[in-house]
Amino acid sequence: MNIYDIIEKKKNSLELTKEEIDFVVEGYTKNIIPDYQMSALLMAICIRGLNIDETYNLTNAMLHSGDTIDLSKIDGIKVDKHSTGGVGDTTSLVLGPLVAACGVPFAKMSGRGLGHTGGTLDKLESIPGMNINLSIDEFIKNTNGIKMAITGQTGDVTPADKKIYALRDTTATVNNPSLISSSIMSKKIAVGADALILDVKVGSGAFMKDVESAEELSKMMVELGHKFGRRTVALITNMDEPLGFAVGNSLEVIEAIDTLKGEGPEDLTELCLVLGSKLLVLGKIASSEKEARELLEEKIKNKEALNKFKEFVKLQGGDTSYVDDTSKFKLSSIKEEVYSLEEGYVQKIDALGIGEASKDLGAGRETKDSILDLGAGIILNKKIDDFVKKGDLLATIYTEKESEIEKVKKMIQNSYIIGEKNEEPYKLIIEEID
Ligand code: URA
Ligand code: CA
């Protein structure tokens, strides 16, 4: 077998065998196949596509390129949630304690933010003392104890994906449904939860810019999940505006805590209740989504979800007084207001533009090594369908970077698309695939 022939085959739209795919993944991971040949193959895959069998074989090869984590020592049906990357999306920090308070073990390995999207680990680090590098034993022990743990990746999980993803990032080969599905699902299967809910974002701030491609991606990931014996459900959700009002690390943790107190934004609350209801059914705690939702609402009202979050923070070394009093979070020292230059209804808020603006304020990473300002970010004051007059407050920004302020104000003003009232009401949850 040789890589040249495999590239030639895919160039001619032929199906690759399991042996060929194993050969490529192993060869590339072990530095036997060079970047230039792997790049050529990835480009051929982007143009010609992979069918579901090839995608399954690719997922399987990446899954077995490194450690897999056995969560069988955790009692009950373990659940996990994955979002394909949004702006202002602090769902995990609300969803985790909500379902854990209902008795569903929430075992999640999260990532850091890159580019315009945020990451759960960075957000958690804005709580002083928080340890986000649990060992596998601690991860299992905590999930058994309080039904919830969130950590960075432990062990050497899917090294093939790490290497291939880095190459795709620099060769314009990220945006293919088979490559995205196999990348996400290999990691999720390696980490071992029994049931998985996928939040597939669609819109300007997301990988998938239209509903059709989001559907294709969702179907593929759900089918892969099933082939690996994991209950998997995907929701396609809207990113035509950022989720909630807060974008930025400390700001989003405060927003998550407010939501657990029952005082959060409507869209974030709704998404958490819908995702949570599905997890409760998948986890066999409730027999219907209606019953599940009532249970979740009760956990917010009686503060059990909030207390679960405190328990989680405490167990992972964080200072719980920040949860009791969110005014303790240290925000960046410069606070500036951004005003509307137009009058009309907000039709859309370009999530990519807001994500980039927040990154430039210091809340996000330019490269893997950038140092974050956890107190930086944006609080939106207007959302889709709100009416604004010239000079009305659109958003408040927090930063330490004086030199960025004027540019970022323009970025935010440009991200707000203002005009006639939208004919259709904004639909947060577009479709369910299971
Ligand atoms: N997230 C991943 O982990 N992989 C992709 O390919 C795209 C998004
Ligand atoms: Ca938010």
The CATH number linked to 201 is 3.40.1030.10
| 168 CA closest ligand 1 atom index | 6
Question: What is the mean predicted confidence (pLDDT) over 415-431?
Answer: 96
Q: Say yes or no: 92 and 126 in one domain.
A: yes
Closest residue CA from atom 3 of ligand 1: 184
User: How do residues 233-268 score in pLDDT, each as one tens digit?
Assistant: 999 999 999 999 999 999 999 999 999 999 999 999
Q: Say yes or no: 357 and 210 in one domain.
A: no
CATH of the domain at 13: 1.20.970.10
CATH of the domain at 395: 3.90.1170.30
- Rounded Cα distance, 334 and 101, in Å: 38
Q: Which residue in the list 10, 81, 163, 187 is annotated as catalytic?
A: 187
Q: Say yes or no: 90 and 105 in one domain.
A: yes
Structure confidence at residue 223 as a pLDDT band (50, 70, 90): very high
Q: Say yes or no: 353 and 227 in one domain.
A: no
Closest residue CA from atom 6 of ligand 1: 180
Kindly list the distances between the CA atom of residue 372 and the CA atoms of 245, 315, 353, 380, in Å, as whole numbers in the listed order.
20, 25, 19, 20
CA of 390 to the centre of ligand 2 (A): 25
User: Mean pLDDT in the chain?
Assistant: 95
pLDDT at 114 over 90: no
CA of 248 to the centre of ligand 2 (A): 8
**How many helices (H) does the chain have, and how many strands (E)?**
17, 13
Q: How many other C-beta atoms can be found within 10 angstroms of the C-beta atom of residue 333?
A: 10
Residue 183: active-site member: yes
- Kindly state whether residue 431 falls inside one of the protein's structural domains: no
143 neighbors 155 (Cβ within 8 angstroms)? no
Q: Under DSSP, is residue 283 helix (H, G, I), strand (E, B) or coil? A: coil
| Domain coverage including residue 309 | 79-157+164-324
pTM given for the model: 0.94
Structure confidence at residue 111 as a pLDDT band (50, 70, 90): confident
Number of domains present in the structure of the chain: 3
pLDDT at 116 over 90: no
Q: Say yes or no: 292 and 359 in one domain.
A: no
Report the pocket of ligand 1 as residue ranges, CB < 6 Å.
84, 165, 174, 179-180, 183-184
Q: Which residue in the list 161, 258, 267, 350 is annotated as catalytic?
A: 161
pLDDT at 9 over 80: yes
| 182 CA closest ligand 1 atom index | 6
| 174 CA closest ligand 1 atom index | 6
Which of 58, 114, 165, when mutated, tests ligand 1's pocket best, judged by the most ligand atoms within 8 Å of its CB? Answer: 165
Q: Say yes or no: 237 and 150 in one domain.
A: yes
Question: What is the mean predicted confidence (pLDDT) over 352-366?
Answer: 94
Residues counted in the chain = 434
Q: Which tokens is 174 given?
A: 């990220």
Nearest residue to 224 (alpha-carbon basis) of 280, 184, 283, 278? 184
| 111 CA closest ligand 1 atom index | 3
- Kindly state whether residue 178 falls inside one of the protein's structural domains: yes
11 neighbors 48 (Cβ within 8 angstroms)? yes
Question: What is the mean predicted confidence (pLDDT) over 128-141?
Answer: 95
pLDDT at 431 over 80: yes
Closest residue CA from atom 7 of ligand 1: 180
Which of 180, 186, 202, when mutated, tests ligand 1's pocket best, judged by the most ligand atoms within 8 Å of its CB? Answer: 180
CA of 380 to the centre of ligand 2 (A): 9
| 184 CA closest ligand 1 atom index | 3
Which ligand is located closest to the Cα atom of residue 157? 1
| DSSP code per residue over 191-205 | HT-SEEEEEEEESTT
CA of 86 to the centre of ligand 1 (A): 12
Which ligand is located closest to the Cα atom of residue 153? 1
278 neighbors 288 (Cβ within 8 angstroms)? no
pLDDT at 118 over 90: no
CA of 78 to the centre of ligand 2 (A): 26
Q: Say yes or no: 193 and 341 in one domain.
A: no
Amino acid letter for position 224: L
Q: Which residue in the list 83, 181, 183, 332 is annotated as catalytic?
A: 183
Q: Say yes or no: 131 and 244 in one domain.
A: yes
Which ligand is located closest to the Cα atom of residue 179? 1
Residue 161: active-site member: yes
- Kindly state whether residue 209 falls inside one of the protein's structural domains: yes
Q: Say yes or no: 271 and 408 in one domain.
A: no
Q: Say yes or no: 126 and 41 in one domain.
A: no
Q: Say yes or no: 350 and 318 in one domain.
A: no
pLDDT at 367: 78
Question: What is the mean predicted confidence (pLDDT) over 371-394?
Answer: 97
Which ligand is located closest to the Cα atom of residue 42? 1
- Rounded Cα distance, 90 and 109, in Å: 15
